[in-house]
Structure formats: structure tokens, C-alpha cells
């Protein structure tokens, strides 16, 4: 019975579920760790996508955030009002605009990142060195998994 249980714990399907659940809980907790401010989670997510991508059209941003264009229009409008996002003419298509984070938007992004990093650093410091080493190895493995595009499956 114990051998069967150990095999089941290490099966790829069980491991996939455990990892997904742990990452989901950690991500949810990290989203809760943020400076108090006016931004909703959706607005912060859109700002993050712009900061990481550099610049996107409104349609590209809506696709990246997996929301409908009208929803993204409202999000971008609020970010513009707050001075966190700017619109620039598209370099090749006069009908479109390119959205990018302003310096103030980049500072808000950095402030949120620093808050999440500080919380995670405190939590990691509470762990024994052996567990931190295990997490370091796991981070490398998870990065490789995330970069693997040979699986042929669309992550959407």
C-alpha cells in the first residue's frame, strides 16, 4: 500500500496538479501583496503586460490579458487618466495606436514588484537553507518548463 501511494505521489499527472495548485495559491497571495492605491488587479495586470512587452496595440493588450476589447478600452482609459499609460501613433498603420507605460507607470509597476519581492524574500528567509536550495532548483526547472514550446499545445 505504501509503495502504491509513493508511486501515485510522483506520477506526472499528480505532480502536475500539485504544482499547478501551489503556483496558483502563491500567485494569488502575491497579487494580494501590493501597495495601497487606486489600481484594480485588472489595471495592474494590463500595466504589467505593457511594461514587460514594451508596447502593444490595444488589441494585442486585450489578447494578452484575455479580455474583450471594450473591457480593455475601459482599463486603458483609466490608466491614461492616471498618467500611467500613453498612446502613440502606430509606426506603420495610421489607423492604430501603440500603448506603452509612462515613466509614472513604470514606477508604479516597480513599486508593486518591490512589494511582492519583499514579501517573498521574507517568507523564503523563514525556510531552512535546504528548502531554499530545493526551491532554487525547482525555479530553474519551472523556468525550463515554461520556455518549452515543443509540446505543441497552446497554453490558452
Whole-model pTM? 0.77
Q: How confident is the model at residue 73 (pLDDT cuts 50, 70, 90)?
A: very high
CA distances from 1 to 8, 9, 136 (A): 11, 12, 32
The overall average pLDDT reported for the chain is: 88
Domains annotated for the chain, with CATH where assigned, are 38-146 (1.10.10.10)
Q: How confident is the model at residue 38 (pLDDT cuts 50, 70, 90)?
A: confident
pLDDT exceeds 70 at position 79: yes
- Mean pLDDT calculated for residue range 89-101: 90
Q: Looking up cell 532554487, which residue turns up?
A: 136
- Mean pLDDT calculated for residue range 127-131: 97
Residue-level pLDDT at 1: 45
Q: How confident is the model at residue 155 (pLDDT cuts 50, 70, 90)?
A: low
Contacts of 54 (CB under 8 A, 6+ apart): 100
Q: Looking up cell 525547482, which residue turns up?
A: 138
Per DSSP, the residues of 100-118 read: EE-HHHHHHHHHHHHHHHH
Amino acid at each position: 500500500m505504501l509503495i502504491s501511494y509513493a508511486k501515485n505521489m510522483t506520477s506526472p499527472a499528480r505532480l502536475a496538479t500539485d504544482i499547478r495548485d501551489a503556483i496558483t495559491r502563491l500567485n494569488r497571495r502575491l497579487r494580494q501583496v501590493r501597495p495601497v492605491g487606486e489600481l484594480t488587479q485588472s489595471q495592474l495586470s494590463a500595466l504589467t503586460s505593457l511594461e514587460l512587452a514594451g508596447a502593444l496595440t490595444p488589441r494585442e493588450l486585450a489578447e494578452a490579458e484575455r479580455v474583450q476589447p471594450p473591457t480593455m478600452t475601459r482599463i486603458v482609459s483609466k490608466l491614461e487618466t492616471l498618467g500611467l499609460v500613453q498612446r502613440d501613433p502606430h509606426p506603420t498603420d495610421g489607423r492604430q495606436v501603440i500603448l506603452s507605460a509612462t515613466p509614472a507607470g513604470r514606477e508604479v509597476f516597480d513599486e508593486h514588484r518591490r512589494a511582492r519581492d519583499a514579501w517573498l524574500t521574507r517568507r523564503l528567509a523563514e525556510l531552512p537553507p535546504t528548502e531554499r536550495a530545493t526551491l532554487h532548483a525547482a525555479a530553474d526547472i519551472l523556468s525550463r518548463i515554461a520556455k518549452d514550446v515543443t509540446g505543441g499545445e497552446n497554453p490558452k
